[in-house]
Structure 1
Amino acid sequence: MEVSNQENGGLISVKSLEPIFIQPEKKPYNGTHLLSNLDRAVVAMMKTIYIYNLDGKTSSEAACDVIKQALSKVLVYYYPLAGRLKSNSDGKLFVECIDTEGVPFVEAIANFSIVELGDITVPDTPKFEKFIYEVPGVENILEMPLMTVQVTRFKCGGFALGLTMNHCVADGKAGMEFVNSWAEIARGVPLTTPPVLDNSMFMSGKRSPLDKSPTEKFNIVDISDVSNLESQYQKENTVYKSFSFDQNKLAELKKKAMEEDEGLKYCSSFTVLAALVWRARNQTLKMEPHQKSRLLFTVDIRSKLNTPLPKGFFGNGIVTSECTCTASELSENPFSFAVKMVQNAIKKVNEDYVQSYNDFFENISITIPPPSLTGTLVITSWTRIAFNSADFGWGEASQFGSVEIPKEVCLFSPAGIKETEGVMLILGLPVSAMNTFQELMNKV
C-alpha cells in the first residue's frame, strides 16, 4: 500500500507494508473488560505521532523490531488494548478479550527525511494521516481495533511512531502511561507505574443526579445557531495555528484578571487562557449578542475524589465541566468575568458531581446521538502530560503532535520540554476568523 501526495514541488510518499497482528506474549486473561460509565462518555479515536531521531544509535529497522517485540510484552499488562469493542443488548460498551486478533502493527517507509516533514505541532491531517494506520473501509467505531500502531522509517534514519487509541479505554494520562510502560519494556527495565485495570468504582451509579435533572446539571443540551456559525466553516477553509504563551505573558493575564476583580486572589494558567480563548473566539466568529456560548472542558478527577484513584489507574479519570452565557455577557463584561466562570466550573467538580456524572452515563447508550457542539468551544489540556517522554532506548521523542483537532476544539499543549516554558494553544478557525484571532493574540 502506498500513500503519496505532492508537497513542496516534489513527491512525498509513505509506502506501507501489510499489517501484522500483535498478541500479548502470554494469555493473561480470557474474558471481558467492562467499561465504566466514564469510559462510555468518550467514545472517539485519539490519533498521535511521536518523532524519534536515532542519530546513528541504531538502525530504524532494528528499532522497529524492538518496538514490535516490546508491544507483545506490554500487552500482557494492558491486555484490553488487544481486545475488541462490543455492545450489549442495552447499547452499553465492553471490551471482548477472548481470542481476538490483537493490535494491528504496520511498518512503513517514507521517501523523505524528518527535516522535510517539518513541525508537527499544528495538525495537517492529510499529511499526518500517512503516519497512522486505520483499517480501510471501516467507519463504525465498533468495528475498529482499540489501538493500531505504525512505525514509519525516514530516509535520514529516524522514525515516526503513529498510534490510534480509542478514548473509551483510556484518557490521555493513562494512554501516555501505557506508552511509557511500553518504552520501559523496550529498554528492559521494570515498569515504573504498573496499570490498575479495576474501574469498578465507576461501574454503576451510587446516587441520583443532585439538585437538577441530568440535562440541566451537565448542560447536555443543544444550542441554537442564531449566528449562522456553521455556515462560516462551510464558506471558508479551516486553518490551524498555534500561539505560545510564556510565563511572562501568563503572569500578565493573571495580574489583569486579579486587578479587575479584587475577589480573585489566585488564577491558574488554565483559567486565564481558557477565558482568553473563549472570549476571542466568540469575537472572531462574530456571534450575535443573544447567541448562547458554551465553554466545555475536561477535569482530571484523580485527586478530587474522597478516595483518590490509585496510581496507574488505566481508564478514564476525567469528567467534563462547562460554563454558559450569552455572547454579549462575555464581551461586555471584563476579562475577569470569564475567568471567574471558568474557576467556578472547576470548583464544582467534587465527589457529588463525579458520582452524579457517573450515574447520568449509566443510562446512556451508544445508540443515543451526542448533543451538538454548535456555539461550543471545547478545551482539551495536555499541559500536564509529558507526551514526548517515552524513551524506547534511543532518547525521548523530538516532536509530538495530534493528527487532527476537531473544529470546535482548542488544544493546550506544553510550549517546550520544561513546564516553565509556558503553554501553546492550537486551534482551527475559518480563514477570516483566524486572521482576526491572530490580531487579538498579538495584542496580549
Structure 2
Amino acid sequence: MSHSRSMATFSDIPLTYTVRRCKAEFVAPAKSTPREQKLLSDIDDQASLQFHVPFVHFYGHQPSMEGKHPAEVIRTALAQTLVLYYPFAGRLREGANGKLIVDCNGEGVLFIKADADVTLEQFGHALQPPFPCFDEFLFDVPGSEGILNCPLLLIQVTRLKCVGFIFALRLNHTMCDAAGLKQFVSSVAAMARGEATHLIPPVWERHLLDAEDPPRVTCTHHEYDEVEASLPLDKLVQRSFFFGPAQVSLLRKLLPLHLRQCTKFELLTAFLWRCRSLAINLDPQEEVRMLCAVNVRSKMEPPLPQGYYGNAFVFPAAITTVKNLCENPLGFAVELVKQAKTRVTEEYVKSVAALMVIRGKRLHFPNVIGSFFLSDLTKAGLEDVDFGWGKAVFTGTAKAVGTKSLFVQARNKKGEVGTSVAICLPAPAMERFAQELDKMLKQQPAEDNKSKSKRIYSAM
C-alpha cells in the first residue's frame, strides 16, 4: 500500500485527509478477445486529439450496497466489459504516414483501488472543477501518459469514509469522445448492477469517418489556421463559473426576439467568447476565433450507427475582430456561433478528414490565447451512470485542458441545477473576465432599455 497526504480546497473548505492506494494493476478482459489490429479514423488520430483527458464522478452512500467495496465491484465489471470493448485493452502503434493503429493485444487498462478518510459532505455542496487535489484521486502512474505503447485508460476508485466513492478516469482522447465514453462507462455500470442484458453493442466501423479516396478538401477550415501566439499560455489559472436558470433567462433578454430561441450552449458560448475577448486585452483589430465541438453522428447520411464510440465531432470556427465582437450587441456573437454550427454537414466532416490526410497528422488547432475552444458535455448523460450506488452527485471533466473549456452539469450552493464552465486564463485576464461577466449581466434587457437588471450572477 502507498500512503499520501494532501491539503486541498473544495468550495473554499480546507480538507486534510489521507489517501491509501493499492499498487496500480492491469485489468484485462475477463475472456479471450480477438488478437488483431484496428485502424483509428482520420478524425480520431489527428494531432489535436492526441492527449489524455481526466473525468471524475462523485457518488454518495447507498445503504443497499453496504459491505461492498466499489473498487472491487467496478474492477470485476470492467474486466467483463472489456470483452466487448477489447480495443481499450490494447495499445496504440504508429503505422505508415503517422496513421494510428490499435494493437488489440489484451494487455489491459490501468486500475487503482484506494480509500480516503474524508466524507463526500466535507467537499461541500457545489462541486465543480478545478479540483486542486485531483492527483490524489487519479494517481498519475509514471510512464502511463504517453500516446503510443501506453494504457488507453487509467481508472482509480476511491472509497470515502462515508462509504460513498470517487470514480476517476483518464482517457486517451484518440479512442473516443464524451458520447463514446458514456457508452463504455454505462456498460461497466450495467455489468456492476448485474443488468447487462440490454447493452448497446459497441460498433467500431471507424472507416465511416475516413477521408474519401482520393481525399478532397472541399470546405474552408479556419479551425486549423496557423496563428502566431498572441500571449504566453504558461502560468494560466483556472476558475469555474456557474450559470443557473436566472442567469440564462437574463442573457436571453439581451437578445433580439428572433434569436431568443437559440440553444443555451449557443447563448453561453457567445456570452463567454465576448467577455473573454474583452479580458485578454488584444489590439481591437486583431482576430479572435471561437471553436465549438459539433457532434456529427446525425450529420452523416446515413447517420452513424448506434453504438459507434469513436470521436464523432468537428470544431467549426467563427472568426471576427475584437472590435466587432465587443462593440456589437450580444446577438452579433450568437449569430456567429449559429453560423459556424450550421456549416457542419457530411461534406464538411469528410473535408476535415481529407485535410488530416493531405496536410499530415501533425496539423493542430491553434493553441493560442486568442482562440477559444468550447465543448458541451451536458448532453452526454455522464451524470446518469449508476454503478449500483445511484446517480453521481457530480460528473464531468476534472479540469479545463489548456485553452479548451468544457460545459458540465452542476449544482450551486442553493441546489439549483445549471451549467458550470471551467475557464483558463492568465491571472490578470481572469480578473478582467469576471468583471466583464458581471458588467454584461447588469445590462438592460433588449425590450426594456429603461429598466435596470438586477445583479444576480455569482461565480463560485
Fold equivalence (TM over 0.5): yes
Contact 1:223 1:375 in 2 (8 A): no
Using the TM superposition, give the Cα deviation of residue 321 of structure 1 relative to its aligned residue in structure 2, in angstroms.
0.6
Contact 2:44 2:310 in 1 (8 A): yes
Contact 1:135 1:144 in 2 (8 A): no
Secondary structure of the structure 2 residue equivalent to 1:352: helix
Q: Cα distance 1:33–1:11, how it changes in 2: closer, same or farther (>3 A)?
A: same
Match of 1:167 among 159, 169, 173: 173
Secondary structure of the structure 2 residue equivalent to 1:400: strand
Using the TM superposition, give the Cα deviation of residue 58 of structure 1 relative to its aligned residue in structure 2, in angstroms.
2.6
Identity of aligned residues (%): 30
Contact 2:22 2:113 in 1 (8 A): yes
Using the TM superposition, give the Cα deviation of residue 384 of structure 1 relative to its aligned residue in structure 2, in angstroms.
0.6
Match of 1:437 among 433, 436, 444: 433
Match of 2:190 among 184, 187, 209: 184
Separation of aligned partners in 2, 1:51 and 1:415: 12
Match of 1:329 among 317, 324, 327: 324
Consecutive unaligned residues in structure 2, runs of 5 or more? 442-460
**What is the identity, as a one-letter code, of the residue corresponding to 2:94?**
S
How large is the RMSD of aligned CA atoms in angstroms? Answer: 2.5
Task: State the partner residue of 1:274.
Answer: 269
Separation of aligned partners in 2, 1:391 and 1:71: 14
**What is the identity, as a one-letter code, of the residue corresponding to 1:333?**
N
Separation of aligned partners in 2, 1:439 and 1:178: 40
Asked if 1:113 corresponds to 2:119, the answer is: yes
Task: State the partner residue of 2:386.
Answer: 391
Separation of aligned partners in 1, 2:184 and 2:251: 35
Match of 1:35 among 40, 43, 63: 40
Bigger shift: residues 46-55 or 145-154: 46-55
Task: State the partner residue of 1:56.
Answer: 63
Task: State the partner residue of 1:428.
Answer: 424
Secondary structure of the structure 2 residue equivalent to 1:37: coil
Using the TM superposition, give the Cα deviation of residue 268 of structure 1 relative to its aligned residue in structure 2, in angstroms.
1.7
Using the TM superposition, give the Cα deviation of residue 176 of structure 1 relative to its aligned residue in structure 2, in angstroms.
0.8
Match of 2:162 among 156, 161, 185: 156
Separation of aligned partners in 2, 1:2 and 1:291: 51
Secondary structure of the structure 1 residue equivalent to 2:84: coil
Separation of aligned partners in 1, 2:14 and 2:435: 31
Using the TM superposition, give the Cα deviation of residue 83 of structure 1 relative to its aligned residue in structure 2, in angstroms.
0.6
Bigger shift: residues 338-347 or 17-26: 17-26
Q: Cα distance 1:148–1:64, how it changes in 2: closer, same or farther (>3 A)?
A: same
TM-score, scaled to structure 1: 0.89
Secondary structure of the structure 2 residue equivalent to 1:2: strand
Separation of aligned partners in 2, 1:210 and 1:22: 42
CA offset digits 1:317-354 (Å, max 9, x no partner)? 11111111111111122221111111110011011111
Contact 1:195 1:312 in 2 (8 A): yes
Asked if 1:96 corresponds to 2:103, the answer is: yes
TM-score, scaled to structure 2: 0.86
Separation of aligned partners in 2, 1:258 and 1:207: 45
Using the TM superposition, give the Cα deviation of residue 361 of structure 1 relative to its aligned residue in structure 2, in angstroms.
1.7
Using the TM superposition, give the Cα deviation of residue 305 of structure 1 relative to its aligned residue in structure 2, in angstroms.
1.6
Contact 1:292 1:326 in 2 (8 A): yes
Match of 1:230 among 225, 229, 232: 232
Using the TM superposition, give the Cα deviation of residue 439 of structure 1 relative to its aligned residue in structure 2, in angstroms.
2.9
The 5-angstrom pairing of residues 185-224 of structure 1 reads 185-189=191-195, 190-206=197-213, 208-211=215-218, 216-224=220-228
Secondary structure of the structure 1 residue equivalent to 2:232: helix
Q: Cα distance 1:159–1:173, how it changes in 2: closer, same or farther (>3 A)?
A: same
Q: Cα distance 1:369–1:244, how it changes in 2: closer, same or farther (>3 A)?
A: closer
CA offset digits 1:95-142 (Å, max 9, x no partner)? 1012x42111111121222222344412124x0121114331455321
Task: State the partner residue of 2:256.
Answer: 258
